[in-house]
């Protein structure tokens, strides 16, 4: 076992970082808000893929106060494409707590910062070390993997025992003089060298001090036992048009993809006929009849943490069959008539609407449903 107190590998890793660190807009800025945003965005997302979203976010909400003043819909819409939308909601709520409780200054101690909505141990450690220079650990998946290999930790890194053991190692080896740089060096090292499946040991500056390398067990460490069972869910989607308008539904304000917009959908159907009947019943309650085309327009698979959607999308046309007051039969069947559209929109429940294709970008889409909007563009299905 290599030493825990003042280990030789720490300055060597920092020297590697000084040469190889990534040029990122939130680095070396000392702004806790920018660091906070970057850390939340980079969870479950590669840094390179996240950067354009970060840049866009900072244009929309350049300061903590700007985000505090934003609506939830504005924050979620700016987050669209990153997934895990509860992170955007919690980030906004956490920022509002900072404004209301701490006078707009992000707390500089772990107890207060971890009390903020959506801020866990890792994010707190990253902000405290990078923005305030505090000697605080930031333990994420990269760190768990690196330390398991480096120190030969065979405990499951997803278990409480494994995380506790590695956190203690990190706290013991964290340098006093450059804690923020050290935490960032682990992030970059885990992304570039000590990667999950096939670590690049030939490029590793500390391999001669690494337990896994020395004992030829890099393929065995870290130990990671997944217990969560992913449920397969068939989802049938109707891309349904009423003239130049599409029918959309807003998901419930809690649960998966909450308060986001989707095309009419049905879960669990086992055949096209069953799905067609279910979608027809769904739109019938809104006053429409449905003609669904039997040829599948697009097939998608989308994986959440506990569910996997197998999506089949079909195009269809709607007719509005409810009586429209003071409207003659010769006019009421013209779907693009402004008066008819206004009447239907006012008649629909609050979680349903008709919308033109060119207005899609103004709404936050429910995960993979956003990809189905491109189907309309590519196949020129809006008339």
Q: Mapping DSSP to helix (H, G, I), strand (E, B) and coil, where does residue 160 land?
A: helix
Residues 198 and 297 in one domain: no
Residues 210 and 242 in one domain: no
**Enclosing domain of residue 164:** 9-214
Q: Residue 83 above 50 pLDDT?
A: yes
pLDDT at 305: 82
- Identify the weakest region by mean pLDDT among 96-105, 295-304, 329-338: 329-338
Mean pLDDT of 225-240: 90
Residues 240 and 298 in one domain: yes
Residues 124 and 241 in one domain: no
pLDDT at 363: 92
Whichever domain contains 61, its CATH number is 1.10.340.30
Return the biggest CA–CA distance within the chain.
Answer: 87
What mean pLDDT, rounded, does the chain reach?
92
For 368, the token pair is: 């993979």
68 in a structural domain: yes
For 217, the token pair is: 């067990």
pLDDT at 380: 44
Residues 237 and 207 in one domain: no
Residues 239 and 104 in one domain: no
Contact 194, 145 (CB under 8 A): yes
pLDDT at 1: 52
Residues 180 and 267 in one domain: no
pLDDT tens string 124-148: 999 999 999 999 999 999 999 999 9
Whether 39 is catalytic: yes
| Banded model confidence at residue 334, pLDDT cuts 50, 70, 90 | low
Q: What are phi and psi of 372, to 5 degrees?
A: -75, -20
Residues 52 and 195 in one domain: yes
Out of 214, 249, 284, a domain closes at 214
Mean pLDDT of 202-229: 93
Out of 150, 183, 214, a domain closes at 214
153 in a structural domain: yes
Contact 309, 268 (CB under 8 A): no
Number of domains in the chain: 2
2 in a structural domain: no
| Banded model confidence at residue 383, pLDDT cuts 50, 70, 90 | very low
Angle, CA 204 vertex, CA 39 and CA 174 arms, to 5°: 50
Q: Residue 263 above 80 pLDDT?
A: yes
Q: Residue 153 above 90 pLDDT?
A: yes
Instruction: Please state the pTM of the whole predicted model.
Output: 0.79
Contact 295, 314 (CB under 8 A): yes
Give CA separation, 11 vs 179, 181, 313, in Å. Answer: 12, 11, 55
Residues 302 and 197 in one domain: no
Catalytic annotation, pick one of 3, 39, 267, 281: 39
Whichever domain contains 327, its CATH number is 3.90.79.10
- Identify the weakest region by mean pLDDT among 26-30, 54-58, 142-146, 210-214: 26-30
pLDDT tens string 271-328: 999 999 999 999 999 999 999 999 999 999 999 888 999 999 999 999 999 887 766 5
Q: What percent of the chain has pLDDT over 70?
A: 94
Per-residue exposure over 4-21, b if at least 16 CB sit within 10 Å of its own CB, e if not? eeebebbeebbebbeeeb
pLDDT at 382: 43
Mean pLDDT of 214-234: 91
Among 373, 374, 362, 350, smallest CA distance to 73 is for 362
pLDDT at 381: 44
pLDDT at 2: 63
Q: Residue 333 above 80 pLDDT?
A: no
């Amino acid at each position: 076992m290599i030493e825990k107190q003042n280990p030789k590998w720490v300055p060597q890793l920092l020297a590697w970082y000084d040469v190889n660190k990534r040029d990122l807009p939130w680095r070396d800025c000392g702004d806790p808000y920018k660091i906070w945003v970057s850390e939340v965005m980079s969870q479950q997302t590669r840094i390179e893929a996240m950067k354009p979203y970060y840049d866009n976010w900072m244009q929309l909400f350049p300061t903590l106060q700007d985000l505090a003043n934003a609506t939830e819909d504005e924050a979620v819409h700016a987050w669209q494409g990153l997934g895990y939308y509860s992170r955007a909601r919690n980030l906004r709520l956490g920022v509002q707590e900072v404004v209301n409780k701490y006078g707009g200054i992000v707390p500089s101690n772990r107890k207060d910062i971890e009390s903020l909505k959506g801020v866990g141990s890792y994010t707190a450690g990253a902000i405290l070390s990078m923005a305030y220079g505090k000697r605080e650990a930031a333990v994420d998946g990269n760190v768990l993997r690196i330390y398991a290999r480096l120190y030969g930790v065979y405990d499951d890194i997803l278990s409480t025992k494994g995380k506790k053991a590695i956190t203690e190692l990190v706290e013991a080896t964290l340098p006093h003089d450059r804690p923020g740089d050290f935490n960032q060096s682990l992030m970059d090292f885990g992304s570039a060298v000590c990667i999950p499946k096939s670590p690049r040991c030939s490029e590793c500056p500390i391999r001669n001090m690494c337990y896994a390398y020395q004992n030829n067990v890099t393929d065995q460490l870290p130990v990671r036992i997944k217990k969560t069972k992913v449920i397969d869910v068939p989802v049938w989607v109707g891309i349904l048009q009423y003239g130049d308008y599409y029918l959309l539904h807003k998901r419930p304000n809690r649960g998966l993809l909450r308060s986001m917009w989707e095309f009419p959908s049905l879960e669990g159907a086992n055949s096209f006929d069953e799905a067609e009947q279910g979608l027809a019943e769904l739109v019938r309650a809104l006053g429409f009849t449905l003609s669904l085309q039997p040829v599948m327009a697009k097939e998608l698979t989308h994986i959440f943490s506990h569910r996997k959607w197998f999506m089949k999308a079909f195009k269809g046309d709607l007719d509005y069959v409810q009586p429209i007051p003071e409207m003659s039969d010769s006019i009421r069947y013209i779907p693009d008539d402004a008066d008819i559209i206004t009447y239907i929109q006012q008649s629909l429940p609050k979680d349903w609407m008709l919308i033109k294709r060119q207005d899609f970008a103004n709404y936050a889409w429910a995960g993979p449903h956003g990809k189905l909007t491109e189907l309309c563009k590519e196949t020129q299905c809006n008339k």
